[in-house]
């Protein structure tokens, strides 16, 4: 009988000690894991960019936006990112540019003449080209519309190296649709690759900040 009483006393003491430890340690742990709303800070895109690659990579809901690109530039830029195997982390966002610079050759007296020139250019390996109505009964061959004059002149220079010496750059007041590449949650190697590539695409910008809202 005495043994049973002693065992009950020991069991109750153990239960009391466990309850005290759980209330102290358990509550303290729970409080440590809670988020303090007063310490949450919303960062602007400029503040995010100033954090540096390592800290950016640790944030949630951060995107890198690169562009804008014409159709031909977009295809090449995506190919340059292939080695990163981004999969669904990279998406595309359409943007409209009101004023732009137009690279073209011509004018030609008929659409047939412009179409013929398009065929000759494609035979030379020149892509992103089409015959367009230039007005006043004339046609031109478009070789790309760019957001900045610098980017347009870079395109004209590249065409000149391909043997298209007649390409000219002209301002063109129209709305043109281009593409931004959006990379969600970019890791440090991804940011480094984007920064390496950006100077190779004249007129493109690389912005790092909160992800754009779905359209």
Segment 81-101 shows an average pLDDT of 85
Res. 119: pLDDT tops 80: yes
The CA angle 144-145-147, to the nearest 5 degrees, is 140
What pLDDT shows up at residue 69?
85
Res. 185: pLDDT tops 70: yes
Mean pLDDT of the chain: 75
What pLDDT shows up at residue 214?
66
What pLDDT shows up at residue 54?
57
Task: Pick 89 or 212 by higher pLDDT.
Answer: 89
| Span 29-86, pLDDT tens digits | 444 444 344 443 445 555 555 656 555 555 557 899 998 888 878 889 999 999 998 8
Res. 169: pLDDT tops 50: yes
- pLDDT band of residue 129 (cuts 50, 70, 90) is confident
Buried b (16+ CB within 10 A) or exposed e, 29-40: eeeeeeeeeeee
First-residue to last-residue Cα distance in the chain = 78
The CA angle 57-59-60, to the nearest 5 degrees, is 115
Task: Pick 52 or 180 by higher pLDDT.
Answer: 180
């Amino acid at each position: 009988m005495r043994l049973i009483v002693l065992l009950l006393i020991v069991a109750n003491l153990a239960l009391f000690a466990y309850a005290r430890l759980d209330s102290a340690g358990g509550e303290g742990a729970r409080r440590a894991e809670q988020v303090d709303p007063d310490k949450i800070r919303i960062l602007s895109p400029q503040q995010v960019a100033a954090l540096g690659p390592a800290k950016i990579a640790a944030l949630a809901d951060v995107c890198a936006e690169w562009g804008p690109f014409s159709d031909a530039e977009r295809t090449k830029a995506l190919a340059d990112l292939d080695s990163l195997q981004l999969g669904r982390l990279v998406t595309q966002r359409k943007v409209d540019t009101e004023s732009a610079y137009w690279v073209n050759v011509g004018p030609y007296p008929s659409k047939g003449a412009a179409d013929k020139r398009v065929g000759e250019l494609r035979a030379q390996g020149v892509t992103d080209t089409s015959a367009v109505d230039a007005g006043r009964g004339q046609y031109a061959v478009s070789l790309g519309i760019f957001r900045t004059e610098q980017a347009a002149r870079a395109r004209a220079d590249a065409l000149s190296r391909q043997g298209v010496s007649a390409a000219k750059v002209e301002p063109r007041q129209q709305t043109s649709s281009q593409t931004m590449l959006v990379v969600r949650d970019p890791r440090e190697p991804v940011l480094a690759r984007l920064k390496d590539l950006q100077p190779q695409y004249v007129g493109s910008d690389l912005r790092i900040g909160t992800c754009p809202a779905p359209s």
